[in-house]
């Protein structure tokens, strides 16, 4: 099929454009559930007039239905999208992009979804769905999975479903809490993942940002010590990647620390460590969760992050050299390649 798509690109390039346009429309309707024409036109960056013409064709083909609430995808449309799934990267010219990133950083796999999570809620939702699919592909029964917090991780949790692969799986928070929205905390995400997959979970009721004195005190607690030992032996770690200064603000670090991060060229943050352009760690905070040495020993590390604004940060973490699978979006992938050159 890949070679056929290549031939079509050469012989009928306009056909590929039509395919991408109609796939995008159907896919956005599927993600929305039911959506009105005006909202959909804005999401797919089309005029309402242009969209109306495409929607009429898709209705005639039996791929979507409309009612007073808006448009929704039909069973035939669902089946078509499912059948197209293996060829989407090729259709959107993402295969080569993924391979260039994979080979440069020596990753096991790179998965790229279309769009830019910075300005599209649906692209971010698709990023979560792709992250869930990547995890489902590698998980084994009775696995221990450590998960970080953040909106991307929450999107992955919302996209998971029960399957035999998750039998006996334990989900654990990779770190403590940041004191922000409870649904974005690693504890909440681990709980949601377990409930959606039929797995089990345990919670780590400690703040993420600790003084050295508080850290030393907490790790003496038998229950916390036992849980930390399990977290640090997780076979799979799933985490997001953030902009260094944005994450420093979320963690409420001192102004002096922010100034130091800026001077040291910190670009990215992941699992509590701050990385510069070369992938070197320039700062970290005491934590009862995963440490750098644990990440180095983890069998599978899955990084999930997207958006054009995060391209540089993602590249910095990839240069650290301990990611195995990257799930990102088209806009971030293009920026990663720019930084490589």
CA distance 197 to 297: 26
CA distance 274 to 67: 50
> Highest-confidence range of 69-83, 110-124, 148-162, 213-227, by mean pLDDT?
148-162
User: End-to-end CA distance of the chain, in Å?
Assistant: 31
State the average pLDDT over residues 1-9: 63
Share of the chain above pLDDT 90, in %: 54
What's the confidence (pLDDT) of residue 290? 87
Q: Characterize the bridge pairing of strands 273-275 and 268-270.
A: antiparallel
Q: Is the pLDDT of residue 105 over 80?
A: yes
3-state secondary structure of 62: coil
Band (177; pLDDT cuts 50, 70, 90): low
Q: Is the pLDDT of residue 100 over 60?
A: yes
CATH 3.20.20.140 fits 2-87, yes or no: no
pLDDT digits (tens, 9 = 90+) for 216-236: 677 777 888 888 899 999 999
- The one-character DSSP state at 209 is S
Contact residues for 5 (Cβ-Cβ < 8 A; gap 6+): 16, 87, 90, 91
Q: Is the pLDDT of residue 266 over 60?
A: yes
Which position has the higher pLDDT, 247 or 197? 197
269 contacts 244 by C-beta, under 8 angstroms: yes
State the average pLDDT over residues 77-96: 81
Q: Which residue has the tokens 């306009």?
A: 14
From 230, 157, 239, 260, select the one nearest 199 (Cα to Cα). Answer: 157
State the average pLDDT over residues 102-119: 93
State the average pLDDT over residues 253-261: 88
Which of 15-19, 113-117, 334-338 has the weakest average pLDDT? Answer: 15-19
Bridge partners (DSSP) listed for residue 145: 171, 236
| pTM score, whole prediction | 0.83
99 φ, ψ to 5°?
Answer: -65, -40
Band (69; pLDDT cuts 50, 70, 90): confident
E strands, the chain, in order: 64-67, 70-73, 109-113, 144-147, 170-173, 200-201, 236-239, 242-243, 268-270, 273-275, 281-284, 300-304, 325-329
Q: Is the pLDDT of residue 2 over 60?
A: no
State the average pLDDT over residues 59-86: 88
Token representation of residue 72: 């929704």
What's the confidence (pLDDT) of residue 5? 65
Mean pLDDT of the chain: 88
Extents of the domains making up the chain: 2-87, 94-340
Q: Which CATH architecture has domain 94-340?
A: 3-Layer(aba) Sandwich (3.40)
Q: What is the DSSP string of 86-101?
A: GGHHHHTT-HHHHHHH
Q: Spell 53-77 as b/e; 16+ CB within 10 A means b.
A: ebbeebeeeebbbeeeebbbbbeeb
Band (248; pLDDT cuts 50, 70, 90): confident
State the average pLDDT over residues 334-341: 86
What's the confidence (pLDDT) of residue 210? 62
pLDDT digits (tens, 9 = 90+) for 283-313: 987 677 788 889 999 999 999 999 999 999 9
């Amino acid at each position: 099929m890949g070679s056929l798509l290549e031939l079509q690109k050469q012989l009928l390039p306009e056909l590929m454009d039509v395919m991408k346009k109609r796939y995008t429309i159907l896919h956005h309707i599927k993600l929305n559930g039911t959506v009105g024409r005006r909202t959909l036109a804005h999401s797919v960056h089309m005029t309402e007039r242009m969209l109306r013409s495409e929607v009429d064709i898709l209705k005639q083909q039996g791929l979507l239905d409309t009612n007073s609430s808006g448009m929704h995808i039909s069973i035939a449309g669902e089946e078509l999208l499912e059948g197209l799934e293996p060829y989407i990267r090729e259709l959107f010219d993402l295969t080569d992009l993924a391979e260039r990133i994979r080979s440069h950083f020596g990753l096991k796999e790179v998965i790229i979804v279309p769009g830019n999570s910075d300005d599209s809620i649906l692209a971010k939702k698709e990023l979560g769905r792709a992250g869930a699919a990547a995890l489902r592909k590698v998980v084994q029964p009775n696995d221990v999975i450590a998960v970080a917090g953040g909106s991307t991780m929450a999107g992955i949790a919302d996209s998971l479903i029960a399957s035999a692969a998750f039998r006996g799986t334990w989900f654990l928070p990779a770190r403590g809490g940041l004191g922000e929205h409870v649904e974005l905390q690693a504890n909440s995400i681990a709980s949601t993942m377990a409930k959606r997959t039929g797995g089990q979970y345990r919670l780590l009721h400690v703040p993420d940002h600790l003084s050295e004195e508080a850290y030393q005190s907490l790790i003496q607690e038998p229950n916390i010590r036992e849980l930390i030992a399990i977290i640090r032996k997780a076979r799979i770690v799933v985490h997001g990647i953030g902009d260094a200064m944005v994450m420093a603000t979320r963690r409420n670090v001192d102004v002096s620390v922010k100034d130091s991060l800026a001077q040291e060229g910190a670009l990215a943050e992941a699992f509590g460590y701050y990385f510069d352009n070369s992938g070197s760690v320039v700062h970290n905070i005491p934590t009862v969760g995963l440490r750098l040495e644990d990440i180095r020993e983890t069998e599978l590390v899955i990084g999930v992050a997207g958006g054009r604004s995060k391209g540089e940060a993602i590249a910095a973490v990839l240069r650290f050299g301990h990611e195995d699978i990257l799930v990102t979006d088209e806009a971030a992938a293009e920026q990663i390649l720019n930084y490589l050159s």
